[in-house]
Amino acid sequence: MTEPTKEQDELAHRVIGAAIEVHRRLGPGYLESIYEEALAVEFDRCEIKYARQHEISVDYRGRKIGIARLDFLVGDNLIVELKAVETIAPIHQAQVFSYLKMTGLELGLLINFNLRTLKEGIKRIILT
């Protein structure tokens, strides 16, 4: 298993802080798109470099078969996927893991805003 770098860990910590601020101000109950917009505002405020709805190519046997979109690619080395669901399902974690495999990145955050306490909705996913 490859451990994320210190830089990735620090970036993840900053992203989690921004997400907690968004959740503190908005709380649960909004659509994912609202949290995405608010998190982009918070990233700007915190001077966190990001690309929103970042497209990545899905290849199969050397052929491009589609496009996937990351909610956020932060600092060119951290995937952040947002949800606003009752509970995180295994398919949500598999989605982030697949994004990590496609990009070759090592660390992703899956953040579910639809909980009373955001801490319970943060999943750290490492490419193993």
Q: What is the full DSSP assignment across 87-110? A: S--HHHHHHHHHHHHHHT-SEEEE
The label of the residue with tokens 């090592």 reads: 106
Contact 125, 111 (CB under 8 A): no
What are the domain boundaries of the chain? 6-126
Residue 26, C-beta contacts closer than 8 angstroms, at least 6 positions apart = 34, 35, 38, 113
Beta-bridge partners for 63:
60
Tens of pLDDT along the chain (128 residues) come to 567 888 999 999 999 999 999 999 999 999 999 999 999 999 999 999 999 999 999 999 999 999 999 999 999 999 999 999 999 999 999 999 999 999 999 999 999 999 999 999 999 999 98
- Taking the model in full, what pTM does it have? 0.93
Class of domain 6-126: alpha beta
Query: What letter would DSSP give residue 3?
Result: P
